[in-house]
Structure 1
Amino acid sequence: MNCKTCDFQLESTSNYCSNCGSKIVHERLSLWGTWEEFVGPFFSWDNNFWRTFFGLFKNPKDVLEAYINGARKKYFQPFSYIILYATIAVFFYKFFPMEIITDYSESFSGGFKTANTAAKTPKIDMNAYVETIMSYYNFFVLLLIPVYALTSYIIFYKRGHNFFEHLVFNSYLQTNLGFISLILQVILVNFSGMKFGTYSILFMLLFISFTLYAFKKLYNQTLKQSIISAIKYIFIFAAMYLAIIIFFSIVFGIIYAITLMK
């Protein structure tokens, strides 16, 4: 019997190829076999997904360092982790949309008209724009991973890791937070009726706490060092985050307004 992957000769009783490590499949496909091959491994507690997800809470140092140190089979690869989350998030928001209550269409239209007194400005409905942004809030948060990476790199640059290694660290951390956020949204916003503003504040506190906890474990920081890092992180990240939000809000707002005026 030969391995179907590398054609290496094997014993008829072999379950794995001694040359390439591939699993030897003897049975034909069936309903149960299909479940085991495609669905079962994902829900297995020994699966890389669960090992990565829970490992980032239990032992973040091991997970964060594994990929950059070359142990790339032990945990879920960081960018595949992001893609998995983004795929789940897209379908998630179709079933659990974020309800937006605040309507500031009138004030936006008035401000736009004031800035363009000569133009005929119709009333601009900002609800559709805001709902689109907020409905994919967690998805957009992932786009800020380079900002998270730059923030942690600025604070911890003396520790020896470069920007791209911080990009890996933050890809893991923010994706993990993304999965947690999906669960929190369903429980607190969709089912319990919590306002999005309150939810955002709660999630921001969770985000900062978890991120700094992970870096505390990664760099073996003392309590004093961790507090100083937390203060630096809040100020640096808040400044960059605010600047990006203002910039994109202005750009998208102008584009949306121009589209409605045509």
Structure 2
Amino acid sequence: MNTEKSKSTLVVVDYCRNCSKNLNPNAAFCDQCGGKIIKNRITTKNLLEDFNDRFLSIDGAFPKTFIALYRNPEDVIGGYINGVRKKYMSAFGYFALSLSIAGIYVFILREYFMDSIFENISSETIQNQDKAQLDFVKQLTTGINEYQALLSILSIPILAFISRIVFWNYKQFNYLEHVVIYLYAFSHINLTVYILAILTIWSPSIYIFFSFVGTIGYVIYLCYVLKRLYGLNFKKLILKTSLFALIGSLFFFIISIIVGIIMFKMGMFDELIENIKTANQAKT
């Protein structure tokens, strides 16, 4: 019969709690399902170790992945597509980590710095109509930040679809493999931008500068990744980037119209419209 004894912090385990297979006395992992055998009772240390193993991989995989995605993105992304699973963090693990850092950033921005940043943008000479528009931008920014995780999740399949269209004459990667490309690339630039944002958010002027640079960084890094993965020369890179921008702009225009209609139906423009009317009446 399987038994389990507790002795201080040590738990005697003679079968796998994941698949119920009998274990060798000194087994560290189950040879049936590969699950790690937990022999210590729960402590702060092993909770942090479990969090690290599942999400951060600070023991080597995360820093190795982060650096390699700048130096040799084709090694990380192409390796994962070709079956490499242990050398670097997985695509979904890296994406989950980027969402976690984004959540921390959004919390810090919303709770401590949102007002000061918009106060820095505004001035005493701002007109009422401009003030109404600025308030609307603030509300829109807050809304985007609130749904940042959802927007990121939705962006990946859209970017992958556009990329598959742009590279229709290349058979190297299918649609799902393009999803993997953008899970890594989108997550990587997000991690970089959000870490820089958290470090500079104390200064509105520096924060705004890095936000602007970050927007350009998205485009440059995606071009860099695609160039390395497909081995594009400069002429082909410009052609594919221009086509991507054209198709992406069309998608953005259509999505913006749909979102705008939804926002209008929800009454999100009512306050802005009323403030503009009030400002125009005051002028006359």
**What residue number does 1:255 align with?**
266
Cα drift, residue 93 of structure 1: 1.2
Q: Give the Cα–Cα distance (whole angstroms) in 2 for the partners of residues 248 and 137 of structure 1.
A: 13
**What residue number does 1:116 align with?**
none
Instruction: For structure 1, list consecutive stretches of 5 or more residues without a partner in the other structure.
Output: 111-123
**What residue number does 1:44 align with?**
58
Deviations 1:7-51 (A, max 9, x none): 44443233233333222333333333333333477352324x444
Q: Is 1:179–2:191 an aligned residue pair?
A: yes
DSSP-derived class of the 2:267 partner: helix
Q: Give the Cα–Cα distance (whole angstroms) in 1 for the partners of residues 147 and 108 of structure 2.
A: 15
Instruction: For structure 2, list consecutive stretches of 5 or more residues without a partner in the other structure.
Output: 1-13, 274-284
**What residue number does 1:238 align with?**
249
% identity of equivalent residues:
25
Deviations 1:203-255 (A, max 9, x none): 22211111111111111222332233233333333343344335424542453
**What residue number does 1:165 align with?**
177
Cα drift, residue 174 of structure 1: 0.9
Alpha carbons of structure 1 residues 5 and 257: separation in structure 2 relative to 1, 3 Å = closer
**What residue number does 1:132 align with?**
142
Q: Give the Cα–Cα distance (whole angstroms) in 2 for the partners of residues 32 and 195 of structure 1.
A: 35
**What residue number does 1:21 align with?**
34
Q: Give the Cα–Cα distance (whole angstroms) in 2 for the partners of residues 60 and 104 of structure 1.
A: 48
Choose 201-210 or 28-37, whichever is displaced more: 28-37
Deviations 1:68-120 (A, max 9, x none): 4444555444345434433442342121234333689736989xxxxxxxxxx
Q: Is 1:12–2:22 an aligned residue pair?
A: no
Q: Is contact 1:147–1:237 with CA below 8 Å preserved after alignment?
A: no
For 1:106, give the aligned amino acid. Answer: Q
**What residue number does 2:129 align with?**
106
TM-score (norm 1): 0.73
Alpha carbons of structure 1 residues 253 and 159: separation in structure 2 relative to 1, 3 Å = same
Q: Give the Cα–Cα distance (whole angstroms) in 2 for the partners of residues 137 and 92 of structure 1.
A: 13
DSSP-derived class of the 1:207 partner: helix
Q: Give the Cα–Cα distance (whole angstroms) in 2 for the partners of residues 40 and 257 of structure 1.
A: 43
Aligned with residue 65 of structure 1, among 78, 85, 108: 78
Q: Give the Cα–Cα distance (whole angstroms) in 2 for the partners of residues 72 and 65 of structure 1.
A: 11
Cα drift, residue 66 of structure 1: 4.0
Cα drift, residue 193 of structure 1: 2.1
**What residue number does 1:206 align with?**
217
Q: Is contact 2:57–2:89 with CA below 8 Å preserved after alignment?
A: no
Q: Give the Cα–Cα distance (whole angstroms) in 2 for the partners of residues 246 and 194 of structure 1.
A: 32
**What residue number does 1:92 align with?**
105
For 2:183, give the aligned amino acid. Answer: S
Alpha carbons of structure 1 residues 22 and 146: separation in structure 2 relative to 1, 3 Å = closer
**What residue number does 2:236 align with?**
225
Alpha carbons of structure 1 residues 133 and 7: separation in structure 2 relative to 1, 3 Å = closer
Q: Is contact 2:105–2:198 with CA below 8 Å preserved after alignment?
A: no
